[in-house]
A and B are shown apart, each in its own frame.
Chain A
Amino acid sequence: MSKPELWVVAERRLDHIEPTTQQLITKANQLAGDRFHVVAVLLEATTDHLEDELTTYGPDEIRVVRDDRFPTATDAELADALKQLVDAAQPNTVLFGATITGRSIAPRLQAKLQTGLTADCLDLRFDDDTLVATKPSYGDNIMCEIICPDRRPQMATVRPNTFAAQPTPNGAELTTAKVDFHPVTRLHVTAATPVVNTATTVGDASRVVALGRGAASAATIDAATQLAERLGGRIGVSRPLTDQDRFTHDDQIGQSGNTIHPDLILNFGISGAVQYLVGMQDSQTIVSVNSDPNAPIFAASDYGYVGDAQAFMTALLGQFA
């Protein structure tokens, strides 16, 4: 008997693959062992070669469906194409990134398939062939585990940057599949403008200098900017700092902002509220500076200094010079 299929639905981000797709393939490979056949499902235009950005992450198979209407297709059209693919192959599990696109298409597909979908997951595991998905709720104050015991496929959307993508030398078998494209004539995308963001975001950075309410003066932010440059990283902020003109919600770390796992994060003047911690606790090395020795951030840190944020930054910059 052939192995049950574990799908990752690949998502396009401008002319590239959305990083969450690659993260999910790595996670799917780990979950699959030799029990599941990991398939990356890719809907692309006839001239696209987005599979090249998936092979590196070594799913067992990349199933490509080509139609020039896919890049601008609407949610319902994409869900319809996926429904046909699911009907043909009967996968055990279908995973999506919990991006805006993933969170729009997946429930539409869920309704077509009359199956279960767990939203915005932070962890996945299998209990036999049942997916156990961990999702936060009540603003990340509560975690819950959700299963879909009786219906297949079981589906989940997974929060971006929850898992790290790892290239493997395994390669992937490339196959093609066909669907009938059913246009939805009552909805049209009349314009699509790329939101140009050439700088890496705090979500992509491997080094992050994070600032909180205790590191919010103009002079401290200037020192932090230098420090981030010196480390080749980015500035991220706790929620209160998004009120400042210099920062936006895109810079925010935490449950209602970015989930990040850089190699190194330096937290300055951040108390360590749980909503902040969940966004960065998977960072590899965590350093925190806070004037309050009892700040909860220290319990989640590898290195800690009790003292003034700006004084510590200045000292650090001085020693780099």
Chain B
Amino acid sequence: MKIVVCIKQVPETNDVTIDPKTHNLDRRGLAGVMNPFDKNAVEQALQFKATTDAQVVLLSMGPDDYAQSLREGMAMGADSGVLLSDRAFAGADTLATGYVIAKAIEKIGDVDLVIFGRQAVDADTGQVGPIVAEFLQQPQITYAATLRLSGPNEVTAERLLEDTKQTLVAQLPAVVSVRSELNPPRYPTPRNIQLSFEKPLTIWHHDDLDLDDSRLGQAGSPTIVTKVYAPKPVKRELTPLTGTPQEAASQLIKALKDRQLL
């Protein structure tokens, strides 16, 4: 069995600021780490590996320093990593990202299960998983809260909707995105960290994949971010309530009556 886990590298903290001059995101000095939700996906794949002869391949699209997250995943125990790195891929929105990832999964070949994290904690869309599932024409299970191999060629998942707990059974190959409730991800052991440097990390550039150039990067991205800004909480006109708690409470009751809230 071959499992691909898709991982994105994200800034270490979400405390990003806006450059007051350029109005661009200031990400200087922020170290990159594996998207926390993707660790749940890696953990799930490694649990399958422990009970079957599954091979776990990590896949990431991004600049060369994304190799760091792939190493992190291999230090958890994954077998190998593939990095999709090319100028032509830069500036991709979810559609263009999903396209290249789907093409790479086709090239990896004979993939039984693709696991995604719930969403990337920076852009927060959660869209790449379903897009890839559609491009691969495979069934998808999103927001899986549990996942198990329920047959030689089958996974069973529980998915929690707003009002319903669903049990879904998918024939492989299939695409699953997982919630963090699924598992506590393991930490890399010193031995696995050491081993990770001997595991194969392949870099695929534009020419390694069979791609339609009009669907890549910024040019292949229908959406454009036109503005970024720091959210300003709406400031309100504060009326202080004063005196003892009893006095303040009666001021409040009067105010709420005036506003027809009592």
Contacts and interface: CB of A to CB of B under 8 A. Distances in A.
A162 to B, nearest CB: 13
A202 B68 CA distance: 41
- Which of A116, A141, A194, A307 counts the most B-chain CB atoms under 10 A from its CB? A141
Q: Main SS of chain B's interface residues?
A: mixed
Given A299-B233, A299-B236, A316-B253, A104 B142 contact: yes
A218 interface: no
B162 interface: yes
B240 A305 contact: yes
Contacts of A320: 253
A92 B138 CA distance: 28
A99 interface: yes
A192 interface: yes
Interface stretch (A34-42, A45-53, A132-140): A132-140
Nearest to B120: A137
Nearest to B136: A111
B22 interface: no
B179 to A, nearest CB: 10
A110 B97 CA distance: 13
A106 B134 CA distance: 11
B9 interface: no
* Range class of the B interface residue count: 35 or more
Contact of B238 (A110, A140, A188, A304): A304
A312 interface: yes
A281 B234 CA distance: 7
B115 interface: no
Interface string A102-120: 0111111011101111111
B171 to A, nearest CB: 4
Given A139-B14, A189-B168, A318-B246, A304 B240 contact: yes
Contact of B239 (A74, A136, A302): A302
Contact of B130 (A104, A116, A132, A189): A104
B51 interface: no
Contact of B241 (A110, A117, A118, A303): A303
A299 B98 CA distance: 42
A192 to B, nearest CB: 5
Given A104-B143, A115-B222, A147-B224, A315 B246 contact: yes
B253 A312 contact: no
Interface string B131-156: 10111001111110000000000001
B222 A148 contact: yes
B131 A110 contact: yes
Interface stretch (B57-65, B73-81, B200-208, B254-262): B254-262
Nearest to B159: A100
Chain A contact residues, majority secondary structure: mixed
Contact of A111 (B135, B163, B171, B241): B135
A290 B243 CA distance: 14
B31 interface: no
A14 B162 CA distance: 9
B223 A148 contact: yes
A273 B242 CA distance: 24
A319 B249 contact: yes
Interface residues of A, number: 85
Interface stretch (B41-49, B121-129, B188-196): B121-129
Interface in A285-317: 285-287, 298-308, 311-312, 314-316
Contacts of B184: none
A299 B127 CA distance: 36
A151 B164 CA distance: 35
B52 interface: no
B222 A144 contact: no
Contacts of B142: 75, 100, 103-104
B160 interface: yes
Given A116-B95, A141-B16, A192-B165, A274 B135 contact: no
B164 A14 contact: yes
Given A13-B162, A195-B165, A117 B127 contact: yes
Contacts of B16: 138, 141-142
Contact of B131 (A111, A142, A197): A111
A116 B248 contact: no
A315 B249 CA distance: 6
B233 A281 contact: yes
A138 to B, nearest CB: 4
A136 B164 contact: no
Interface of B: 11, 14-16, 18, 25, 93-95, 98, 121-131, 133-135, 138-143, 156, 159-171, 174, 221-231, 233-242, 244-246, 248-250, 252-253, 255-256, 259, 261
Interface of A: 13-14, 18, 74-76, 79, 99-101, 103-108, 110-112, 114-120, 132, 135-151, 154, 184, 186-195, 197, 263-264, 274, 277-278, 281, 285-287, 298-308, 311-312, 314-316, 318-320
21 contacts: A14-B164, A107-B125, A116-B95, A118-B223, A119-B94, A135-B124, A138-B124, A142-B229, A144-B228, A146-B225, A148-B224, A149-B224, A197-B163, A263-B261, A299-B238, A303-B239, A305-B248, A307-B245, A308-B245, A315-B245, A319-B253
